[in-house]
Structure 1
């Protein structure tokens, strides 16, 4: 019991710790998780998941994979297929058989596997998997179309790869007893079809029950999790690994039934996915034994190179031949194909089964599958940014600013940030209000920012900060509340005084975004100042020209709005805190016209006479 508790605690610390280090450093999280598990397991011997959990380790990992695939399916909206459908269907209909064929040739002629093992292994290799692709896309700024194609391929092909392995195994098992492919393939196809129908039926029941109040709010998440696990286990009884098909179909179906009550559980499911991905990677890499790698030789190394530089490129380039996908995006897809949890989990299962059938090469699959995972994750994880930049499919590298509401003040702010080369997008439902921004060459989006279709028509990935500044402060609060789980509560801002939870006339602070400006200027305040001729000004700081110097050269009533760091990061001055300026930063302030009033001059003179008390700048 104590050993199991220790392993669970270590899995959490190592998994989330690796994710945090990846966030701080920009390194691929999956590489760090693999390294952490490998060090804690076979290298240092701190934990041994197989000894701690025994036979329940495999079903634990299988259920975790099922939940991850379901969560991934919830992110697939058919509206994306209107833009990317041709590429998606080609990667599924042509990519799977081509990848299976080329992988089988590589396994037999390069790795030296016997045909049955090579064919089965190649079937599993067609998977990429959301557990590795989605973390890579989260950390890199790849453009919307190639990112969507990689995500769809990873989620849809995951269960298909498992079915390819099942078909191969059942066929070779049947041939031992004198069976044929015509006896095996239809049976598995029917089982997969039934599992898909069962997954769709489960989604329909959820979509029917939740909006009608048949399930109370506090039970929706538990009911959904139990439904996913139950569907997965039941369909696995129909056929091995058919449960993966069922939960994937269930997730995609629910995503496209547009059940409004599911939006409230999105943050929870995303947190569950992060925990599961972290935990499963640590468990699998910690379970690896040096004995599993004893078969690794020069042929295995040649197989890995063939997989990276021949099999994947040939599969993608042939699948997308004569398609509308540009060549630079095809080349990115041809390189990026990291393998992850499903590959290792399924290989571990079938290695034992192949050995039972008399194929000695089956035992090689465990070590070879881990070698494929490590090689592809390291190769693709560390090069995706470089390759995307070389192929010119890199999205915005600097953190962007999303502004809700087109007013004279927001248009002026957007123009200022646009001139500073910060990615900015102004969103408003009024075409007329967006006209000044369009005339100034500022990127705009005409639509309702809270509409679900907006996230599919507008790529929100480059924008890591949001300012809600429409004429309606309650609406601004709603926008901040909606985007806070995705962007971060400390990166959504709105105009207006800080909320007072004891004042029944004001909205609670738990809903509002952070109040812009130290003084908490309201929408009416900034609009009035805009009419009076106030403008945005920017000031570059240096070793010789600090914050106090910048203040001295601004009118007394000026308000500092934000700091722009040299790397493009934005730090706003709010009612609660002010960032510490450093040399190289640019201060953007909202300032009145430059008029030398007696009051301003007296205030500046008083500031110059008073001691500054140290080198650390004081908050604005």
Structure 2
């Protein structure tokens, strides 16, 4: 027991450490997790999860996949694909069928599989899945259209790919066995239909009991967690692999009911999903054998993988999207990105055993074939997705942007200097046209609408903005905005203006979990900042060099100036806050708001020079 506990701890720690390393060094997380699993598993032989966990190995993997798939489908709100319904539908139907057919032909003619094994594994290889697509989308910062297409395809194709393999397997059993009747095929279709209806019914029922208040807030996430597992287990028990279809239907149903507590559930499920993806990927790769790793270098397998990458996927996307409004660049990106993940690895092992039992000896290479495709696509697409998206102008720039909530003269001036002088993406959001007047006049990008409204996420693309500054005149509103966006942006990147203690009552005494970090320094309120701007205070940028150090700058700056932020040489933006002291270094640029002393001196010098010239003339 102690050994099993230790092994589980090692797997979880390695998985999360891999996620952190990927974030820290901007690497594809799936690649790092796979390498970690290979190192502790087949390469050094430290762990063998399949043997360590025994009979619990497959149920753990299956339940984890169900939760991950449900979490992904919980994000499939139909409002997100307005204008994209046709290409998404074509890709997950006609495109999936083409990928199945072409992949099966490649498996038969190139990998040397029998027709039976080829059509089973060809159906499985149409899946991409949320386990790999969602982390890559998070890191690559694609524009909304291609990101939505890849996300919807990945989540919808996941259960259908598994079901397509089951369907092919049942057809083969029916054709090759004298004892089989059409009842097995009818049973398969009825089980699939039941899974969809059951998932929809469970989703509607869950949403109804939540909306009617039959479940307290603190139990909602655990209740959903339990219901998802029950929904998956019941359908999967009736017919293998239909459980994935059921949880996908359940998640999509809940996502489109627009219930008030959906966001809390989504955040909880996302956290659980990250933990499960990290753990499961390490477990699966650590469970491989050296024989499997050596086998993937077989020339037939290598050639098959290359065909899947460069022929099958591009052809299926380009043909299926003929007549849609996708641009050539969008088609090029989508046709390249198709990483396979957990579902392909887990389901292929099931079919390898099932086909071997049915007498298909060639099925013994299915695990090697699947891992070769998974690892090749994860590496190729993980490392190239961001680069290709940037080349095709389908990605947001690397420069972390700033979203300022609250229009004012200060917001406009601050946005202008970081946008025009530092080339940082910036946007000012406000529900009032009047408060946006100065931003509109200055040519600063703006969003007219309430950032807290639900529909905002479908009209305002938040991808470019890593920082949010709540800079309205209402302390309570600023605190609410920061608290609301903690899951999306992160507490360290949320800022609000200093509280007006004379008017805010007990707001200072609120817990640290409410609101954002206080900008600049305490006492620098909305009124004071805007008053200074109206009095002629100037936004300045100052270059810190080896000769002109940050300390020298501090000693020489004008009295009454306010330090706003530092633009690091690495392009990173850091804000001065009341709770954290930052210091500039050579190569950094300091942005400040100060009295117009220098500007007045320069103007006076120019006037004196003109007078002198006129006298000489």
Could you tell me the TM-score, scaled by structure 2's length? 0.93
For residues 326 and 47 of structure 1, the distance between their equivalents in structure 2, rounded to whole angstroms, comes to: 47
Per the alignment, do residues 215 and 463 of structure 1 end up closer, same or farther by CA in structure 2, a change over 3 Å counting? same
The more displaced of 513-522 and 476-485 is 513-522
1:436 maps to what in 2? 438
1:472 maps to what in 2? 474
DSSP 3-state at the match of 1:103 = helix
Contact 2:195 2:243 in 1 (8 A): yes
Query: How do residues 280-319 of structure 1 correspond to structure 2 at under 5 angstroms?
Result: 280-293=280-293, 295-296=295-296, 297-319=298-320
For residues 437 and 181 of structure 1, the distance between their equivalents in structure 2, rounded to whole angstroms, comes to: 71
Shift of 1:237: 2.2
> Please, which of 521, 542, 550 is the counterpart of residue 547 of structure 1?
550
Is the counterpart of residue 488 in structure 1 residue 490 in structure 2? yes
DSSP 3-state at the match of 1:425 = strand
Aligned residues: 596
1:69 maps to what in 2? 69
Q: Encode CA deviations 1:374-429: one digit per residue, 9 max, x unaligned.
A: 11111111111221122221212110101111111111111112112101111111
Q: Encode CA deviations 1:215-245: one digit per residue, 9 max, x unaligned.
A: 1122111111000000001111232111101
Contact 1:71 1:273 in 2 (8 A): yes
2:565 maps to what in 1? 562
DSSP 3-state at the match of 1:210 = helix
Is the counterpart of residue 575 in structure 1 residue 578 in structure 2? yes
DSSP 3-state at the match of 1:479 = helix
DSSP 3-state at the match of 1:83 = coil
1:232 maps to what in 2? 232
For residues 438 and 550 of structure 2, the distance between their equivalents in structure 1, rounded to whole angstroms, comes to: 33
For residues 545 and 181 of structure 1, the distance between their equivalents in structure 2, rounded to whole angstroms, comes to: 86
Contact 1:103 1:122 in 2 (8 A): yes
For residues 520 and 334 of structure 1, the distance between their equivalents in structure 2, rounded to whole angstroms, comes to: 54
Is the counterpart of residue 206 in structure 1 residue 190 in structure 2? no
Q: Encode CA deviations 1:132-151: one digit per residue, 9 max, x unaligned.
A: 11111111122211111111
Q: What 5-or-longer segments of structure 2 have no aligned partner? A: 601-617
DSSP 3-state at the match of 2:485 = helix
For residues 175 and 119 of structure 1, the distance between their equivalents in structure 2, rounded to whole angstroms, comes to: 13
Per the alignment, do residues 22 and 595 of structure 1 end up closer, same or farther by CA in structure 2, a change over 3 Å counting? closer
Shift of 1:562: 0.6
Per the alignment, do residues 237 and 97 of structure 1 end up closer, same or farther by CA in structure 2, a change over 3 Å counting? same
For residues 40 and 513 of structure 2, the distance between their equivalents in structure 1, rounded to whole angstroms, comes to: 40
2:48 maps to what in 1? 48
The more displaced of 95-104 and 292-301 is 292-301
DSSP 3-state at the match of 1:349 = helix
Contact 1:7 1:48 in 2 (8 A): no
Shift of 1:305: 0.6
The more displaced of 531-540 and 53-62 is 531-540
Query: How do residues 331-342 of structure 1 correspond to structure 2 at under 5 angstroms?
Result: 331-342=332-343
For residues 263 and 304 of structure 1, the distance between their equivalents in structure 2, rounded to whole angstroms, comes to: 39
Shift of 1:177: 2.5
DSSP 3-state at the match of 2:208 = helix
1:521 maps to what in 2? 524
Is the counterpart of residue 364 in structure 1 residue 365 in structure 2? yes
1:78 maps to what in 2? 78
Shift of 1:555: 1.3
Q: What 5-or-longer segments of structure 1 have no aligned partner? A: 598-620
Contact 1:31 1:378 in 2 (8 A): yes
Query: How do residues 20-419 of structure 1 correspond to structure 2 at under 5 angstroms?
Result: 20-178=20-178, 185-293=185-293, 295-296=295-296, 297-419=298-420
The more displaced of 546-555 and 440-449 is 546-555
Per the alignment, do residues 12 and 193 of structure 1 end up closer, same or farther by CA in structure 2, a change over 3 Å counting? same
Shift of 1:499: 9.0
For residues 11 and 498 of structure 1, the distance between their equivalents in structure 2, rounded to whole angstroms, comes to: 49
Shift of 1:337: 0.6
DSSP 3-state at the match of 1:439 = helix
Contact 2:475 2:500 in 1 (8 A): no
Contact 1:171 1:181 in 2 (8 A): no
Q: Encode CA deviations 1:228-286: one digit per residue, 9 max, x unaligned.
A: 00000111123211110110111111111111123223332211011000000000000
For residues 501 and 15 of structure 2, the distance between their equivalents in structure 1, rounded to whole angstroms, comes to: 36
DSSP 3-state at the match of 1:292 = helix
Contact 2:498 2:521 in 1 (8 A): no
Contact 1:133 1:154 in 2 (8 A): yes
Contact 1:339 1:377 in 2 (8 A): yes
1:605 maps to what in 2? none
Q: Encode CA deviations 1:538-578: one digit per residue, 9 max, x unaligned.
A: 11111111113323443111010111123322111100112
> Please, which of 586, 591, 596 is the counterpart of residue 589 of structure 2?
586
2:612 maps to what in 1? none
Shift of 1:367: 1.1
Q: Encode CA deviations 1:412-452: one digit per residue, 9 max, x unaligned.
A: 11111211210111111122322321222211111110111
For residues 393 and 262 of structure 1, the distance between their equivalents in structure 2, rounded to whole angstroms, comes to: 30
Per the alignment, do residues 271 and 104 of structure 1 end up closer, same or farther by CA in structure 2, a change over 3 Å counting? same
Per the alignment, do residues 439 and 504 of structure 1 end up closer, same or farther by CA in structure 2, a change over 3 Å counting? closer
For residues 338 and 223 of structure 1, the distance between their equivalents in structure 2, rounded to whole angstroms, comes to: 32
For residues 228 and 249 of structure 2, the distance between their equivalents in structure 1, rounded to whole angstroms, comes to: 11
Is the counterpart of residue 19 in structure 1 residue 19 in structure 2? yes
The more displaced of 117-126 and 584-593 is 584-593
Contact 1:399 1:569 in 2 (8 A): yes
